[in-house]
Each structure stands twice: as structure tokens, then as C-alpha cells.
């Protein structure tokens, strides 16, 4: 990570930071859409929802607590992936989730929103969450906190990130469901779709950054 940072030119650094911030906003907007559509959330949000049920804290507060714990694990096991985006995620992801939840529920009340519109929201949730996460990983300015487990497993086993993402999603799903989190068709879509879309977004973003500095792929 140190060598990577030292090799980056200033233009690439600024572009990477912007991409990371856009990815963070997109990923958390996707989480808000998952909650707002009422068709089941992505696996990580099922886990957060389960903790919400037993603790009565907001989704954002629970996410912040988990982010702190996961950041500690990143420092211990995946320090090479620690960066400014990891730190920013700890402080901004939770509030963003709560803001998007309020905004989306106000614009599309669950009880009066047609099913077709809720299905569109689900599709938006899947794409924005997966693409946003892929962008965060690609910019190499520190991973999102919940990305720790799939990346750690990928580094440990040399299995594709797409597959380790699917595996960890399934684990979050099971734990969240046991805690009382809501599971639905959106959850199934999230388990099957997040990994492949994330992998696609990761490759596309790396290719884009390579135009400015070939070292971003090393």
C-alpha cells in the first residue's frame, strides 16, 4: 500500500478519491433502496436488520458500530487494504444509510407504492450497491469495512472475489435471518447478483484508472 501511494501521481490520487466517495454514496444509496422497496434487503442489510430488531438502534447506528469493529480487523489482518476510504466509511456510511432511509421512505411510502415501482427500486438497489462497492475496492484507497471478509478470504484462498463475496453474503444472510432480519426476493437477488456485478465494476473501474496511471493495477 505504501509503495502504491508513493507511486501515484496527484491527478490519479484525486480521481481515485472522487471515485471512492462516489462509490460510498452509491453503495449506501443501494442499501436505502433495499430497505425502501420492502422486498427483502441485501444479505449484509439482513444482518444489520437482525441487529436492529434485537437492539432497537437505527440501521445507521448499527452500521457504524460494525464498521468500527471491522476496521480493527482490517488493521490486524488486512492492513495493506487500510486507507482513507476505510476511515471515511466508519464515519459517513451509517449517517448516509439513515438519511437515505428517511428520504426514500418519504418519497415512496411502502403502503402506497405499486409493486412494479418497488421492483424497479430493488433493481436499482442491487446495481448501485454492487457497483459502488466495486468502485471502492478498485480505487485502492482503503476498502469499505464490510468488504473486509470477502477480500480477506480471497487473499487467503486465492479464490475470485466474486465467489468469496457470494459466500460471505450467504453467511450474513443466515445470521441476520436467525436474529430476526427480514428475508425476501430482494435477498435472493442480492446473494446471486452482488458478486458478479461487483467483479464487473471492479474491472471496469481499474481499467478506467489505468488510463491515468498503469500502476493502479499492480
Q: Is the pLDDT of residue 1 over 60?
A: no
pLDDT at 216 over 50: no
Buried b / exposed e across 190-210, counting CB within 10 Å, b at 16+? bbebbbebbbebbeebbeebe
The pLDDT of residue 210 is 77
Backbone angles phi, psi at 113, to 5 degrees: -90, 125
Question: pLDDT above 70 covers what percent of the chain?
Answer: 92
Domain boundaries along the sequence of the chain: 2-212
Distance CA 6, CA 214 (A): 14
Calculate mean pLDDT across residues 106-123. 92
Neighbour-count burial of 95, counting CB atoms closer than 10 A to its CB (0-12 exposed, 13-18 middle, 19+ buried): middle
Q: Tell me: the pLDDT tens digits for 71-86?
A: 999 889 888 878 888 8
pTM exceeds 0.85 for this model: no
CA 3/CA 179 separation, integer angstroms: 43
pLDDT 10s digits, 26-65: 999 999 999 899 898 878 889 999 998 899 899 899 999 9
The answer for 142, left when phi > 0, alpha when psi is -120 to 50, beta otherwise, is: left
Give the three cell numbers for residue 188: 435472493
Amino acid at each position: 500500500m505504501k509503495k502504491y501511494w508513493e507511486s501515484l501521481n496527484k491527478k490519479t490520487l484525486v480521481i481515485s478519491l472522487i471515485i471512492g466517495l462516489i462509490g460510498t454514496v452509491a453503495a449506501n444509496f443501494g442499501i436505502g433502496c433495499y430497505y425502501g422497496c420492502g422486498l427483502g434487503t441485501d444479505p449484509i442489510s439482513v444482518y444489520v436488520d437482525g441487529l436492529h430488531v434485537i437492539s432497537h438502534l437505527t440501521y445507521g447506528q448499527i452500521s457504524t458500530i460494525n464498521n468500527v469493529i471491522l476496521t480493527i480487523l482490517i488493521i490486524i489482518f488486512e492492513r495493506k487494504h487500510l486507507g482513507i476510504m476505510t476511515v471515511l466509511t466508519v464515519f459517513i456510511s451509517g449517517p448516509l444509510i439513515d438519511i437515505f432511509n428517511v428520504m426514500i421512505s418519504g418519497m415512496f411510502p411502502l403502503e402506497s407504492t405499486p409493486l412494479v415501482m418497488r421492483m424497479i427500486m430493488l433493481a436499482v438497489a442491487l446495481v448501485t450497491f454492487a457497483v459502488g462497492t466495486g468502485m471502492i475496492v478498485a480505487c485502492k484507497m482503503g476498502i469499505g469495512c464490510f468488504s473486509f471478509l470477502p477480500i480477506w478470504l480471497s487473499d487467503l484462498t486465492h479464490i475470485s472475489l466474486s465467489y468469496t463475496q457470494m459466500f460471505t453474503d450467504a453467511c450474513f444472510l443466515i445470521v441476520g435471518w436467525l436474529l430476526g432480519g427480514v428475508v425476501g426476493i430482494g435477498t435472493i437477488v442480492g446473494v446471486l447478483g452482488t458478486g458478479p456485478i461487483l467483479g464487473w465494476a471492479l474491472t471496469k473501474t481499474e481499467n478506467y484508472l489505468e488510463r491515468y496511471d498503469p500502476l493502479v493495477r499492480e
